[in-house]
Amino acid sequence: MAETAFVSCGGTGAPQGRRREVVVGGKRVKTVDVHAHCAVPAAMALMGRKVEAEALLQSSMPARIQAMDAQGIDVEALSINPYWYGADRDIAQKLIQIQNEALAEICGAAPDRFVAFASVALQHPDLAAEQLEQGVKRYGLRGAGLGGSVEGRELSDPAFHPFWAKAEQLGVLVFIHPQGTAELEKTGRLAGNGLLTNTIGNPLETTIALSHLIFEGTLDRFPGLKICAAHGGGYLPSYAARSDAVQTTFPQRMKGTLAKRPTEYLRQLYFDSIVFTPEALRHLAVEAGPAQIVMGTDYPFPWTSTSVDHILGTPGLSDADRIAMLGGTAQTLLKIP
């Protein structure tokens, strides 16, 4: 019942320094944020890169925990946006090793507040598969974080099958986070006001990545894959039916057959909740199913600080839906006790 959720959640934020506890239907819910960024400077240095925001650093963990407490986030699943897809094998090996060890250390320092996605060098697919396995088995990481493409190659490229096979075999969640559409940036079409490289470039990249995973049959080939797409899956769930319509409008442009209608794949993918309005979240829940939505914040980038209230305040969801979105589904996917 929506009403129970409203009255029992205790307002829109915790008083200064207090940890907000989220309650739905009289039950304390463990909330999980699947979309939280961090950075490891020692690894970035190998690529001559500098950290873009201090809040990404391990040294800023107290401030991060304070923000989590205020927003009612119990656990963050940390990930690192790939910047190493151009690295050769040796550098990539070293960089990922440093990074995954650092992630394990961060999580180890506050195991009740943090889990993390392993970083992997997807440009070397066999190495990426090893890094994922090691990340999960040796470092206790809970899945992998990927970009939306790899130096111009689509995630559906058969070259990446060894990685997908490993992710499926391990049964871990793969979080796909876009990094703009570099190919469009070159043309200048995303220049000008509005940070379009990010504002629309990021969701567009996710839309393209997911569409290829569906249409190229990657999701048929690896039906056990657990994939979570950032920013509500970009534009794909908003205009999903067009992906079904093409099958009948231009059947000659469909090579081979898919196991099901394109829109049905949305019901096996996971999506974070960063879609800003109750109407957008309602629509995503209709297209994908409420059990496929997991909460995201994009911390420390201030796109939203009200992810909990967004889920609590979206009309038409049941208590069970809200509990699943706030943390229940992510708890299962990320093996959070």
What is the contact surface with Zn ion in residues (CB under 5 A)?
298
N- to C-terminal Cα separation, the chain: 26
Cβ 298 to Zn ion, closest distance in Å? 4
Find out whether 116 and 79 touch, Cβ atoms under 8 Å. Answer: yes
Q: Which is nearer to Zn ion, 269 or 323 (CB)?
A: 269
Cβ 230 to Zn ion, closest distance in Å? 6
Q: Which is nearer to Zn ion, 147 or 328 (CB)?
A: 147
Give the single-character DSSP code of 324. Answer: I
Strand 270-272 and strand 293-294: pairing?
A: parallel
Cβ 117 to Zn ion, closest distance in Å? 12
Q: Which is nearer to Zn ion, 216 or 298 (CB)?
A: 298
Cβ 176 to Zn ion, closest distance in Å? 11
Please name the residue ranges forming H helices in 26-139: 41-44, 61-71, 89-109, 125-137
Among 246, 214, 216, which residue's Cα sits nearest to residue 227? 214
Contacts of 301 (CB under 8 A, 6+ apart): 37, 53
Q: Which is nearer to Zn ion, 74 or 298 (CB)?
A: 298
Q: Which is nearer to Zn ion, 33 or 298 (CB)?
A: 298
User: Quick count: other Cβ atoms within 10 Å of Cβ 46?
Assistant: 16
Cβ 177 to Zn ion, closest distance in Å? 5
Strand 153-154 and strand 293-294: pairing?
A: unpaired
